[in-house]
Amino acid sequence: MTIRVSDLPEAVARNRMNETLEICQRTNTKPSVLKLARQIGLSNTTFRRRFPDSARELGALRSASVIPADGPSEHDRLIARNAKLRRRNQKLASELALAVAQLPHVAMTNERLREALENASKITSIHGKRSPR
Same-domain check for residues 21 and 52: yes
Same-domain check for residues 45 and 87: no
pLDDT of residue 126: 72
Residue 94 domain-assigned (yes or no): yes
CA-to-CA separations, 90 to 77, 80, 112, 114, in angstroms, rounded = 20, 15, 34, 36
pLDDT of residue 104: 96
> Which has the minimum average pLDDT: 46-55, 65-74, 111-120?
65-74
Same-domain check for residues 84 and 113: yes
For the chain, the domain total comes to 2
Same-domain check for residues 58 and 79: no
Q: Which residue has the higher pLDDT, 92 or 132?
A: 92
Residue 83 domain-assigned (yes or no): yes
CA dihedral 99, 105, 107, 111 (to 10 degrees): -160
Same-domain check for residues 113 and 82: yes
Same-domain check for residues 54 and 77: no
Q: Which residue has the higher pLDDT, 61 or 130?
A: 61
CA dihedral 117, 121, 122, 124 (to 10 degrees): -50
Give CA–CA dist 89/93, Å, rounded: 6
Average of pLDDT values for 38-62? 87
Domain boundary among 43, 63, 83: 63
Average confidence score pLDDT of the chain = 83
State the residue range of the domain holding 39.
10-63
Amino acid at 82: N
Q: Which residue has the higher pLDDT, 21 or 112?
A: 112
pLDDT digits (tens, 9 = 90+) for 52-109: 888 888 888 888 765 555 777 888 889 999 999 999 999 999 999 999 999 999 999 9
Residue 133 domain-assigned (yes or no): no
Question: Phi, psi at residue 67, to the nearest 5°?
Answer: -100, 120
Can you state the angle between helices 33-40 and 10-27, rounded to 10 degrees? 130
Same-domain check for residues 50 and 79: no
Does residue 112 sit in helix, strand or coil? helix
Residue 117 domain-assigned (yes or no): yes
Average of pLDDT values for 112-126? 82
pLDDT of residue 5: 53
Same-domain check for residues 43 and 81: no
